[in-house]
Amino acid sequence: MAGKFEIYKDKAGEFRFRLKAGNGEIILASEGYKAKASCENGIASVRKNAPDDKRYERKETKSGGHMFNLKATNGQVIGTSESYTSTSGRDNGIESVKKNAPDAKLDDQTA
């Protein structure tokens, strides 16, 4: 099964997206957007920037975990990963975003 983007509304009423891998696991999540169009623009930016390894900011969490941010060409964070227990897990997550994001289907759960 291919990956997919899901658009949904959070408890605050903001639009968010998450990218799920083919196995249903969330591999990237967005910030909240006031407008649905802005959320859709975020997805377009993920599709465009995901294949470029230079767009990934690899980080360590305060608790010693590993995570990454995907950044747009302007340096703005467009998606954040979960926390992984190892650098290899984080790097596998990055590879999964690279593979899934460009052709992921769109599942709009707000329509």
For residue 1, what pLDDT is reported?
Answer: 62
CATH number of 4-108: 2.30.29.80
CB 97 within 8 A of CB 50: yes
Within 8 A by CB and 6+ apart from 99, the residues are 3
For the chain, domain boundaries: 4-108
What global pTM score does this model have?
A: 0.94
Grouped pLDDT means (10 residues each) for the chain, 111 residues: 92 97 95 97 97 97 96 96 96 97 96 84
In the numeric block, the tokens 């993920």 are attached to: 46
The whole-number pLDDT of residue 111 equals 84
**8: which 2 tokens?**
């949904």
User: CA of 9: how far to CAs of 3, 17, 30, 36, 110, in Å?
Assistant: 20, 9, 12, 9, 7
